[in-house]
Amino acid sequence: MVSIVLSALLLSHKAPKWFDTTLAGYAFKYDEKHSMAGVHDPKTGFYLMRNVECDGGVLILTLTRDRNIVTGNGYKVLGFVPKTHDNGSLQLTEKPLPSLATGHGIRIGDSPAKIRAKLGAPTKIGRSGARKQWTDWHYVWRTGEHDETLKYEQRYTFKAGKLIEVEFSRVMDDLPNQ
């Protein structure tokens, strides 16, 4: 039921130019065909996770090499001992990822200039990492009204001027549509 409401909200408002629905060959959606997923590509070392909470109200699709993020999302990474929490219990599927790109052609290793040329300026820019060593570009879109507002965010993380991680998320939002 939540998926039907969320789909109707998305279709009722025109998505911004930067909005993307594919990451590493996986769909940014939740339904009978697209459920939770945890994949490790042994050749590239990248992980793809599709995490779903609240009957699909919260959807997160992450492409990363950071094992702490993977274990923090409940997946077990063989041979890895996280420092801040337990190694997860969910099993990862070992197989090649179809790509390390978004549906708009943004690829791991791309520069901020290339991403700006394809997506436009980010909504906000921030820093992350224990020493604030990474730069995060956030693209944010809110759609819907009142208690049915959705917040879509796509985050692109850079290290030394190269894209190293991508995350798409959708959450129910308490803020008014902006």
Q: Which residues, at least 6 apart from 11, have a Cβ–Cβ distance to it below 8 Å?
A: none
Tens of pLDDT, residue by residue, the chain (178 residues): 344 444 444 444 689 999 999 999 999 988 878 888 999 999 999 999 999 887 767 899 999 999 999 999 999 998 888 877 788 889 999 999 999 999 999 999 999 999 999 999 999 999 999 899 999 999 999 988 766 789 999 999 999 999 999 999 999 876 554 4
Are 140 and 122 in contact, with CB atoms under 8 Å apart? no
Amino acid identity, position 154: Q
Amino acid identity, position 131: R
User: What whole-number distance in Å separates Cα of residue 36 and Cα of residue 46?
Assistant: 17
With b meaning 16 or more CB within 10 Å and e meaning fewer, what string describes 157-178?
A: bbeeeebbbbbbbbbebeeeee
The residues spanned by each domain of the chain are: 2-173
What pTM value is reported for the model? Answer: 0.87
